[in-house]
Chains A and B, each alone.
Chain A
């Protein structure tokens, strides 16, 4: 397994659009060639070497290539966008759009990630150990379908619009979320172990959402079906008792989604 290390050195006062940092693009290139790959910063294109010390050559194929970003890069966007195989390890925090539209392979972010992480993701694994911002695994502006496959795991919190328009794949959040978690979801699974604020599952037409903590303001348009204990989705287990709701009945495609809410943390429901 070939490993390419990118040690951040450069000036990041304007954010850098680095959709070229993928194993697919690095495979078959030497460290020198990788350093020459262009990225946009504002209106200009510069080589990667302006921002990173590049060490190590790419592997023979994407599967064979690991990229290690050795440090914090919160001003770099779109790392791993559209990647199909291989691995990226970011030893720090990263900017927006990490793993957007990724189709395969694995990205691990040891720190935090910006908004739009895993946007419209199709496959692979995106593991963010810290927190992330809005639109995790969701559809991009105007687009109707969010994540369609793969898995996103967040160790900390996500904020608004988790899995907006999601139609497949899984999102697992250890921490809390805020507004519009699972808005317009029509397939796939979202598991939030912590609390949600409001509008969970608004306009959902399919798929499953599990909230392990408390929902401060429950969405109207959901109907209680049942109470289930210790629910399990393949390798994802949610212990305890859950109230099972269907919804959203507020829209024409009525009630085809499922929302599980922890009994213990939502006694008033």
Chain B
């Protein structure tokens, strides 16, 4: 029977189901987790002996840059990233190359080897949605979806300025369906628009040019609209002033704005039977906290400002965030934040590229190398780990490297080792610039995450936060049969031997997707079917018509025709709409 498997005697970590390292069996029938298999089903099923191994739900990355125009831009401007990191084809797998910006095939394989089964593209510019979907369709092994960049969209800024909430809601709902995207991404609100005139915004109450809306109005408006429409995930916020010393304050103040907004996810899906409440209660999801948490006033007195943010997160329940860790080495910085990339170019003199996505957003790409010897980079490394270790409740944080901004996702095992082992951190301190110790609090932090917490920050919370816990991030009955089995015996684990942690998480003993073994000890053994999620919101026909009149009228300023704007279904692998019952 396809997609039927029995995983026996593993130590299971399923935080959404409050299973913490218990020895148990996992059964999957036809791609879904079930309580048991009948004797005859067992006879036909594949059986895996997971004794002495760690069993977790398949990994979920809720923020990664893996498909679309800026990723492709990174590939084009970085031949050097490709000829030194490549993989030959096998009878079932494509060849591929690229270290920090791998080709689509290699990206899928590398994620799968680490036990990941679900990855969300963190920024889809509306006009590039087709391209993004084409690349996601060609990325094997992974269920995917993308967040639509709306923070500097001309229509939204105009509707928010005019206070026309009906049209704004209609516009967002129509855009999600049109571009087959999943949630709202907001990058440097009001600032990216100003970048069209070589400017940025420096404060939350600073109105931008022409539209005269402030970052505060955009964050408030988008978070309210997000809950009004009932999106599965909170607004995904990349705060203002990112990458500048002292930016932690504006980040904390940005997080205060959606405090009064009550989370009302309203997805019409079948939920797996988890013990914990699988719906989110946050109204804002701060992304790559580390880049938003710079302290000091200049590069001379630069220091970690993480504590200012994590203190706020620890004392408020409407915020969840991902870390944006810096594991050192080669990276490619790519973001919708055009002005931030320009500042990095001025700082480094490295090759860079910027794009203005017409009336919608912008972006920039720049190759970067994080060095242990560099004072600022070494503090950034410490800050990335602080963002996870200072947050007391692991259900408020998610582990990412903002791949490939802080470092490529293939470094996740290294980050996990630092989180689990104080010795790993101390050993790195000894190798890197002393600023890391002097200007962050990490050296004094002795917390060591256990495997349960690792399962929360790498899968359970990522899935719950983006509203996918109905099928991902858990091994509850009814969930997708996505399982990662790691060669790590929790009973014999010595965290001081962190190399063994890195080895285990680099190549999962088995990655199971939909009840089928797809990769085994670093080797791709099957190419599974994949899904593309998007949000499908029904809104009143009247509102949609009024809004579309505006959109069609303005389309004369676009360089593409209105009929070429939407992404047709055929661009998606297995389009999977998440039905949302909007309240408008």
Contact = CB atoms under 8 A, between A and B. Distances in A.
Interface string A129-141: 0000000000111
Contact of B349 (A141, A142, A143, A205): A205
B354 to A, nearest CB: 15
A252 interface: yes
A73 to B, nearest CB: 24
B80 A143 contact: yes
Contacts of A142: 77-81
Contacts of B80: 139-144
A253 B349 contact: yes
B346 interface: yes
A251 interface: yes
B403 to A, nearest CB: 20
Nearest to B369: A144
Contacts of B349: 203, 205, 251-253
Contacts of A253: 349
B79 A252 contact: no
A140 B83 CA distance: 10
Nearest to B77: A142
Contacts of B83: 140-141
Contacts of B79: 141-143
A187 to B, nearest CB: 14
Interface string A9-38: 000000000000000000000000000000
A140 B82 CA distance: 12
A42 B6 CA distance: 49
Residue from A141, A144, A251, A252 whose CB has the most chain B CB atoms within 10 Å:
A144
A139 B79 CA distance: 12
B350 A144 contact: yes
Contacts of B351: 144
B367 interface: yes
A26 B143 CA distance: 49
Contacts of A140: 80, 83
Nearest to B367: A144
Nearest to A205: B349
A251 B349 CA distance: 7
Interface string A199-217: 0000101000000000000
Contacts of A143: 79-80
A251 B80 CA distance: 23
Contact of A252 (B77, B81, B346): B346
Contacts of A144: 80, 350-351, 367
Interface in A196-239: 203, 205
Nearest to A184: B349
A144 B332 CA distance: 13
Nearest to B350: A144
Nearest to B79: A142
A125 B347 CA distance: 34
A248 to B, nearest CB: 10
Contacts of A203: 349
Interface string B73-102: 000011111010000000000000000000
A81 to B, nearest CB: 13
Contacts of B350: 144
B294 to A, nearest CB: 20
Interface in B35-86: 77-81, 83
Interface in A243-261: 251-253
8 contacts: A139-B80, A140-B80, A140-B83, A142-B80, A143-B79, A143-B80, A144-B80, A205-B349
4 tightest A-B CB contacts, nearest first:
A142-B79, A142-B80, A143-B80, A252-B346
Interface of B: 77-81, 83, 345-347, 349-351, 367
Given A141-B80, A144-B80, 8 more contacts: A140-B80, A140-B83, A142-B77, A142-B78, A142-B80, A144-B350, A251-B349, A252-B349
